[in-house]
Chain A
Amino acid sequence: MSKTDGANGQSKPRLAVFKFASCDGCQLSLLDAEDYLLAVAGAVEIAYFVEARRQTLPGPYDVALVEGSISNEEQAEQIQEIRRQSSFLIAIGACATAGGIQALRNWQDVDDYINIVYANPSYIDTLATSTPISDHVAVDFELRGCPINKYQLLDVVTSLLIGRQPRVPTYSVCVECKRRGTTCIMVAQGVPCLGPVTQAGCDAICPAYNRGCYGCYGPMEAPNGAALAQQLESMGSSPDQIVRLFRGFNGYAEPFKATSDEYEEMGR
Chain B
Amino acid sequence: MTSENGQKRIKVDYMARVEGEGALDIIIEGDEIKHLELNIFEPPRFFEAFLRGRDYWEAPDITARICGICPVAYQMSSVHAMEKILEIEITPEIRRLRRLLYCAEWIESHALHIFLLHAPDFLGYESAISMAAVPALLPTVEMGLRMKKIGNDLLATIGGREVHPVTPTVGGFYRAPTLKELQALKEDFEWGLEAAISTVAWTATLDFPDFAPDYEVVSLSHPDEYPMNEGRVVSNKGLDIPVEEFEQYFLTEHVAHSNAVQVHRDHGGSYQTGPLARVNLNLDKLSPQAQKAMQDTGIEFPNNNPFISIVSRSIEVVHAFEEALEIIDSYERPVPSRITAVPQAGVGCHITEAPRGMCYHRYRIDDQGIIQDVRIDAPTAQNLRRMEDDLRAFVPQVLDLPLEDATWRCEQLVRNYDPCISCATHFLKLNIQRR
Interface residues of A (CB under 8 A from B): 19-29, 31-32, 34-35, 37-38, 41, 46, 50-56, 71-72, 74-75, 100-102, 104-105, 108, 112-114, 116-120, 123-126, 130, 146-147, 202, 205-206, 208-211, 214, 216, 241, 244, 248-249
Asked if B152 contacts A34 (CB within 8 A), the reply is yes
State which size class the interface on B falls in. Answer: 35 or more
Interface residues of B (CB under 8 A from A): 14-21, 41-50, 52, 54-55, 58, 61-62, 65-69, 71, 108, 112, 116, 120, 126-130, 132, 141-142, 145-146, 148-149, 152, 160-164, 166-167, 169, 174-175, 252-256, 258-259, 261, 337, 411, 422-423, 426
Asked if B65 contacts A23 (CB within 8 A), the reply is yes
Q: A24-B67, A209-B175 are in contact. Are A53 and B16 (CB under 8 A)?
A: yes
Bound CA span A28–B74, Å:
17
A-B contact pairs, 23 of them (CB 8 A): A23-B71, A24-B67, A26-B68, A31-B112, A37-B145, A38-B132, A41-B132, A52-B127, A53-B126, A54-B411, A55-B130, A74-B41, A101-B62, A102-B45, A102-B46, A105-B50, A114-B46, A117-B44, A117-B261, A123-B258, A205-B166, A209-B166, A209-B174
Complex interface: chain B residues within 8 A of A31 (CB): 112, 116
Q: In angstroms, how far is the closest chain A Cβ from the Cβ of B211?
A: 21
Asked if A50 contacts B14 (CB within 8 A), the reply is yes
Cβ-neighbour of B175 out of A22, A117, A210 (below 8 A): A210
Q: A25-B68, A116-B49 are in contact. Are A52 and B161 (CB under 8 A)?
A: no
Asked if B45 contacts A101 (CB within 8 A), the reply is yes
Q: A28-B68, A75-B43 are in contact. Are A205 and B160 (CB under 8 A)?
A: yes
Q: In angstroms, how far is the closest chain A Cβ from the Cβ of B23?
A: 11
Q: In angstroms, how far is the closest chain A Cβ from the Cβ of B41?
A: 8
Complex interface: chain B residues within 8 A of A102 (CB): 45-46, 50
Complex interface: chain A residues within 8 A of B14 (CB): 50, 56
Asked if B49 contacts A54 (CB within 8 A), the reply is no
Asked if A118 contacts B44 (CB within 8 A), the reply is yes
Complex interface: chain B residues within 8 A of A100 (CB): 45, 65
Asked if A244 contacts B163 (CB within 8 A), the reply is no
Q: A101-B50, A101-B62 are in contact. Are A21 and B42 (CB under 8 A)?
A: yes
Bound CA span A20–B20, Å:
9
